[in-house]
């Protein structure tokens, strides 16, 4: 039953109960019979002792069925309007649904409006979705005659002898199902955008046109989601990156390679300075390593075997193959091995802001969030087995401190366990997983087990931060590694005088610096806290008569290591204030006759609040205190 209770009944009683719910918001969208998802109409062969679960609209599966049914209606509408279009696939997604089409000319925004109108007409007809089971060969013949090449290709790869099709109002599509009972059950939907998508996600295949949409049970839910999308659009780091002159990409340089402009670079420097300072306090040793290494290093590490599709083609130097580094780990191991370590030397903690290069397909590159060259805030800890838990506890404390400093105090934690393909002994895996689990529980941090999602060399903890829009972002990770110490014959001298293998912990707090910066831009909508703002204070004059006093104030701010700019343009002060506000500068110092005469300053915050008057020394102290505390809000 929808409330989680159980009831024993005849099949006729079940049908009557479902019928009685049809007019309510809780009306089921499907049923699960002995674990198998089915349409509401598929109850004829339900026998004695069957377990039937009602899939209700509010469930994850219910929403997926609802959206997948809407995708079917989209394909019907497109086929009605553009009969020559070939259909590919149209799944539900976490945000809605999409359908891929092979069409001679491009879809236009005007086409989307017309398609939406046709979809509403199909929904209004309230036609039933009818499931039809066909032999696979018969289905292939059907779609081949219809010229649906993509459906034929899909069918040829399906191993089942019988496949399911769905029909509504004469339109037939290949689908595993289930679907809603009728088209009229779709109450609120919106087509959102058009994008290119390679068939099967392979750049060697034809580029198709993908129409994205979303669907909800009520118009209120749809409106809330569309408002959310508007807010996301306003916060888009690519848009703000241009407006605030933070970074850019250039076709001349190459896709996925970031150019940091002065404003973005000063924020990056601030982040790096904070990161290095805190790591030195936490007893890490800072490293720098090359951007390339001999190919045989990556063969030895296993990256060439396990990670080759994400690596670039080797280059030849002095007739030796070299490779741009995709990881920093082997370099840190070589530094560790440069001198023999004793058990008393452990743990050894190495940290590096190391730039790496990984191949990403052009279709998935996305501003700062998905790039080809990026800097990891990488660290590798070499420790004894009895030190693992303490090191994990330290890393968890360090991670949460770093994330909170940047304004992220909400996150989801996942413990990823052994995958099917792995290296190392089961005993080591169990000990390492137990250490990760125990550390999380000691800290009282709630977590979810992510079975089989560990990396091949060890289990891991992943921390997904939540931004101001409650979107989850994977940033921090803690991974235990049995593979590399073995491959590189990494050892330490134990108290027994014998050589032992250290445990290696990989750890990133922010992950990719580029990606983390993109998340920061969107989290703050470009309105960075004072300590991160590229320009912290703008000095503005009311008239030319106050230029000399303004220059004195500006010099005093610069001398105090405050990032300041001065605007001496012959413009009205209102214009200067608007210009500085558009740049999202935290404090505006406004200087006129009164301020110059009294030797003080008037200060306006970017939220419009006026504070002061202050002497310049008083204001500098206010700035220093706010920067030192790393306040994350203007309030």
Q: Residue 215: is its pLDDT beyond 70?
A: yes
Provide mean pLDDT across the span 410-421.
92
Mean pLDDT value of segment 409-424: 90
Residue 497: the pLDDT is: 95
Catalytic status, residue 209? no
- Mapping DSSP onto H, E and C, the string for 511-570 reads EEHHHHHHHHHHHHCCCCCCCCCCCCEEEEECCHHHHHHHHHHHHHHHHCCCCEEEECCC
- Higher per-residue confidence, 57 vs 246: 246
Give the residue from 251, 255, 514 showing the smallest Cα distance to 360: 255
What is the per-residue pLDDT for 2? 73
The predicted pLDDT at position 234 comes to: 96
| Higher-pLDDT residue of 23, 464 | 464
- CATH, range 60-234: 3.30.980.10
Among this protein's residues, is 358 annotated catalytic?
yes
Annotated catalytic residue within 380, 515, 523, 583: 380
User: Cis omega before residue 20 (within 30°)?
Assistant: no
Q: How confident is the model at residue 22 (pLDDT cuts 50, 70, 90)?
A: low
Catalytic residue among 100, 173, 377, 378: 378
Q: Is pLDDT of 444 > 60?
A: yes
**pLDDT confidence band for 136 (50 / 70 / 90):** very high
Buried b (16+ CB within 10 A) or exposed e, 259-286: ebbebbebbbebbeebbbebbeeeebee
Tens of pLDDT, residues 216-262: 999 999 999 999 999 999 999 999 999 999 999 999 999 999 999 99
Q: Is residue 635 very low, low, confident or very high in pLDDT (cuts 50, 70, 90)? A: low
The residue annotated as part of the active site, out of 76, 238, 303, 506, is 506
Q: Indicate the pLDDT class of residue 74, thresholds 50, 70 and 90.
A: very high
460 tagged catalytic: yes
Examine the pLDDT at 556 and tell me if it is beyond 80.
yes
Residue from 86, 325, 358, 372 carrying the catalytic annotation: 358
Domain ranges of the chain: 11-55, 60-234, 248-289+328-524, 537-629
pLDDT for position 50: 87
Local confidence band at 532 (pLDDT 50, 70, 90 cut-offs)? very high
pLDDT band at 185 (very low <50, low <70, confident <90, very high): very high
Among 68, 185, 372, 376, the active-site one is 376
Residues 6+ apart with CB under 8 A from 431: 385, 388
Percent of the chain at pLDDT > 70 equals: 99
Asked if residue 3 has pLDDT above 80, the reply is: no
Tally of CA atoms within 13 A in the half-sphere of 493 that contains its CB: 7
pLDDT for 58 equals 79
86, 460, 515, 576: the catalytic one is 460
How many Å apart are CA 1 and CA 55, to the nearest integer?
A: 9
Q: What does the pLDDT read at residue 411? A: 93
Average pLDDT, stretch 63-79? 96
Higher-pLDDT residue of 10, 478: 478
Q: How far apart are CA 109 and CA 119, in angstroms?
A: 15
475 is a catalytic site residue: no
What's the pLDDT band for 456 if we cut at 50, 70, 90?
confident
State the Cα–Cα distance between residues 488 and 331, nearest whole angstrom. 11
Q: What is the pLDDT of residues 609-629, one digit of tens each?
A: 999 899 999 999 999 999 999
The chain-wide mean pLDDT, for the chain, equals 93
- 380 in active site: yes
| Tens-place pLDDT, residues 273-318 | 999 999 999 999 999 999 999 999 999 998 898 889 999 999 999 9
Q: State the catalytic residue, choosing from 329, 377, 523, 563.
A: 329
- What integer is the mean pLDDT of 505-511? 95
Q: Residue 23 has what pLDDT?
A: 56
Binning pLDDT at 50, 70 and 90, where does residue 422 land? confident
- Judge whether 291 counts as a catalytic residue: no
First-last CA distance in the chain: 48
CATH 3.30.930.10 is held by the domain 248-289+328-524: yes
Mean pLDDT of 470-494: 93
**Is 506 noted as a catalytic residue in this protein?**
yes
The pTM of the full predicted model, rounded to 2 decimals, is 0.89
Residues 49 and 51: their CA atoms lie apart, in Å, by: 6
φ/ψ of 354, rounded to 5, equals -105, 125
Mean pLDDT over 93-114 rounds to: 95
CA dihedral 324, 327, 330, 334 (to 10 degrees): 80
Looking at domain 537-629, its CATH superfamily turns out to be Anticodon-binding domain (3.40.50.800)
């Amino acid at each position: 039953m929808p409330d989680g209770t159980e009831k024993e009944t005849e099949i006729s009683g079940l049908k009557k109960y479902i019928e009685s719910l049809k007019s309510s918001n809780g009306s089921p969208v499907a049923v699960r019979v002995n674990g198998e998802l089915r349409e509401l109409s598929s109850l004829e062969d339900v026998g004695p002792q069957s377990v039937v679960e009602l899939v209700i609209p509010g469930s994850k599966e219910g929403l997926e069925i609802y959206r997948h049914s809407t995708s079917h209606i989209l394909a019907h509408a497109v086929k009605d309007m553009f009969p020559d279009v070939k259909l590919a696939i149209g799944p539900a997604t976490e945000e809605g649904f999409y359908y891929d089409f092979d069409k001679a000319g491009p879809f236009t925004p005007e086409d989307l409006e017309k398609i939406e109108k046709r979809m509403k007409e199909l929904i209004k007809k309230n036609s039933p979705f009818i499931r039809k089971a066909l032999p696979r060969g018969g289905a292939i013949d059907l779609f081949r005659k219809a010229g649906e090449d993509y459906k034929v290709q899909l069918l040829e790869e399906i191993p089942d002898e019988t496949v399911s099709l769905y029909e509504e109002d004469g339109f037939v599509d290949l689908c595993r199902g289930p679907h809603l009972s009728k088209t009229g059950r779709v109450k609120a939907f919106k087509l959102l955008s058009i994008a290119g998508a390679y068939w099967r996600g392979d750049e060697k295949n034809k580029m198709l046109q993908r129409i994205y949409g979303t669907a909800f049970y009520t118009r209120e839910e749809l409106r809330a989601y569309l408002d959310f999308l508007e807010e996301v659009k306003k916060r888009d780091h690519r848009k703000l990156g241009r407006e605030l002159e933070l970074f850019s990409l250039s076709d001349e340089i190459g896709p996925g390679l970031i150019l940091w402009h002065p404003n973005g670079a000063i924020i990056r420097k601030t982040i790096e300075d904070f990161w290095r300072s805190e790591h030195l306090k936490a007893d890490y040793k800072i490293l720098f390593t090359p951007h390339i290494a001999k190919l045989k290093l990556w063969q030895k590490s296993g990256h060439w075997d396990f990670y080759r599709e994400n690596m670039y083609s080797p280059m030849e130097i002095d007739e030796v193959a070299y490779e741009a580094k995709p990881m920093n780990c082997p370099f840190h191991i070589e530094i560790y091995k440069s001198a023999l370590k004793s058990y008393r030397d452990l743990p050894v903690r190495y940290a590096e802001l190391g730039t790496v290069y990984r191949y990403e397909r052009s279709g998935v590159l996305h501003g700062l969030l998905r790039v080809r060259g990026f800097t990891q805030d990488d660290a590798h800890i070499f420790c004894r087995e009895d030190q693992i838990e303490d090191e994990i506890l330290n890393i968890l404390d360090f991670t949460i401190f770093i994330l909170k400093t940047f304004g992220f105090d909400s996150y989801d934690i996942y413990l990823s366990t052994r995958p099917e393909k792995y290296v190392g002994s089961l005993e080591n895996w169990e000990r390492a997983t137990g250490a990760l689990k125990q550390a999380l529980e000691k800290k009282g941090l709630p977590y979810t087990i992510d079975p089989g999602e560990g990396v091949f060399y060890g289990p891991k903890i992943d921390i997904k931060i939540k931004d101001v829009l409650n979107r989850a972002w994977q940033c921090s990770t803690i991974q235990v590694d049995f593979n590399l110490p073995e491959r590189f014959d990494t050892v330490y001298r134990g108290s027994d005088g014998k050589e032992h293998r250290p445990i290696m912990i990989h750890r990133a707090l922010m992950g990719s610096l580029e990606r983390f910066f993109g998340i920061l831009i969107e989290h703050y909508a470009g309105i960075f806290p004072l300590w991160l703002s590229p320009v912290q204070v703008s000095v503005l004059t009311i008239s030319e008569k106050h230029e000399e006093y303004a220059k004195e104030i500006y010099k005093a701010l610069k001398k105090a290591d405050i990032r300041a700019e001065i605007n001496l343009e012959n413009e009205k002060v209102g214009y200067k204030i608007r210009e500085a506000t558009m740049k999202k500068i935290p404090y505006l110092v406004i200087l006129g006759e009164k301020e110059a005469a009294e030797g003080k300053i008037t200060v306006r915050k970017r939220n419009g609040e006026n504070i002061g008057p202050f002497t310049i020394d008083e204001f500098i102290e206010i700035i220093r205190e706010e920067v030192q505390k790393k306040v994350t809000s203007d309030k």
